[in-house]
Chain A
Amino acid sequence: MAEVFAALTTSHVPAMGAAVDLGKTRDEYWRPVFEGYEFAKRWIAETRPDVVILVYNDHATALGLDVIPTFALGCGAEFEPADEGWGRRPVPMVKGDPELAAHIAQSLILDEFDLTLINRMDVDHGLTVPLSMVFGQPEAWPCKVIPLAVNVVQYPPPTGNRCLRLGHALRKAVASYDRDLRVMVWGTGGMSHQLQGPRAGLINSEFDARFMDLLIDAPEEAASIRHVDYLRESGSEGIELVMWLIARGALTPKVRAVRRFYHVPASNTAVGHLILENAI
């Protein structure tokens, strides 16, 4: 049987992707960030997932103007890294898992999550930067990736509670797939940041630390954080953190945090990263 055996969360700051692409990861500015992901690189080489369900948001690239799905599952066989206006990132094509995605779609919809299904979509930095941070620069990504795009651009995003429940349903969906697959769920985006208005540049390290504490040990409490509190405390773009709750929900109620990393800044953003394993 298939199983979700671990979750990974990480910021997906575009400048981190650019640092990889331009060979700047050892520069003074970037070194502390990339050293923070050395553990993840070793860990992923040991744990070798077959499939990553990658929760991210599109940033006015493939979605966001004419069609705004709250939850959209990528069911295609492949997804091309997007041209976001400065050329495509020099990273491998993202290979999907249409069979597992179809199974998950059916399971989630019957579990009352009214998903949008997407067969063709370019994927932007929200999806490709986490892959680069964890896998580096391989010729081909070493596992299949099912994109799960969440609207966090047009207010309101789904509630934290809804995201946590979706994670629970995702766990069930994967567990009812009758092939032996080791599946991970990644939650990306955040941490605190605001990219607009006179309050641009907001960072709230205390909020971020507390969010990580709650996500690990009290996910129901993390799920009850209200949208207005994300906006006020973590900045207008910090609300991306609801996506971490999907990854958390896909694990057992108790988890082990095998990695926790935090750094300010990457460009305008606080970088946070967790690796969680089922603890039962």
Chain B
Amino acid sequence: MKEYDDIPGTYVFDAERARQGYPLNRFCMSLMHEDNRKRFKADEAAYVGTFGLSEEQVDAVLSRSWNRMLALGGNVYFMAKLFFTDGRSVQFACAQMAGMTQDAYAQMMLSGGRSPDGNRYKREQSDG
């Protein structure tokens, strides 16, 4: 148990996650180049298959399961290359990670963002 494991809804990109996520993040990084974006779009599974991801990681990428990508070692600054390849914004992906519509998320930000109250410890959430 790490001291930050009791923070709800948060995947800390520590050395262990970075190790696990290295192939996943390397795949994301490759999307910085237009040629690679084209190859990826032409055949997503074939392209991802060249980076040595685990089966779970491949599945998370192909299904755009952002939170699973985070849990499997993805980091948002790398994943952003995939958001942009999809023509999406960081805010679009954040809304999906938060399980909200993009409108509801944008409205929450305009009203001052998500409050830390009730969001500091996992136990606050399970207690209701």
CB-CB < 8 A to A204: which residues of B?
A: 116
A177 to B58, CA, bound (A): 53
Interface residues on B, range: 35 or more
Separation in Å of the A150 CB from the closest CB of chain B? 14
Q: Are A60 and B77 in contact (CB under 8 A)?
A: yes
B60 at the interface (CB under 8 A from A): no
A237 to B12, CA, bound (A): 10
Q: Are B77 and A153 in contact (CB under 8 A)?
A: yes
Separation in Å of the A143 CB from the closest CB of chain B? 28
Whether A201 contacts B8 in the complex (CB less than 8 A), given A83-B32, A154-B18, comes out as: no
B64 at the interface (CB under 8 A from A): no
Which of B4, B66, B95 is packed against the most chain A CB atoms within 10 Å? Answer: B4
Q: Are A154 and B13 in contact (CB under 8 A)?
A: yes
Interface of A is mostly: loop
CB-CB < 8 A to A65: which residues of B?
A: 22, 25-26, 29, 78
CB-CB < 8 A to B28: which residues of A?
A: 60
B128 at the interface (CB under 8 A from A): no
Whether A196 contacts B76 in the complex (CB less than 8 A), given A201-B109, A203-B113, comes out as: yes
Please give the number of chain A residues whose Cβ is less than 8 angstroms from any Cβ of chain B in the complex: 39
**A-B contacts besides A60-B28, A197-B97, 15 pairs, CB < 8 Å:** A155-B12, A196-B11, A196-B66, A196-B97, A197-B10, A199-B98, A200-B9, A202-B119, A227-B4, A228-B7, A232-B7, A233-B120, A236-B12, A264-B113, A265-B112
Residues of chain A touching chain B, judged by Cβ–Cβ distance below 8 Å, are 59-61, 64-65, 83-86, 153-156, 192, 194-205, 207, 227-228, 231-233, 236-237, 264-265, 267-268, 270
The 5 closest A-B pairs by CB, nearest first: A203-B113, A199-B9, A198-B9, A60-B77, A200-B94
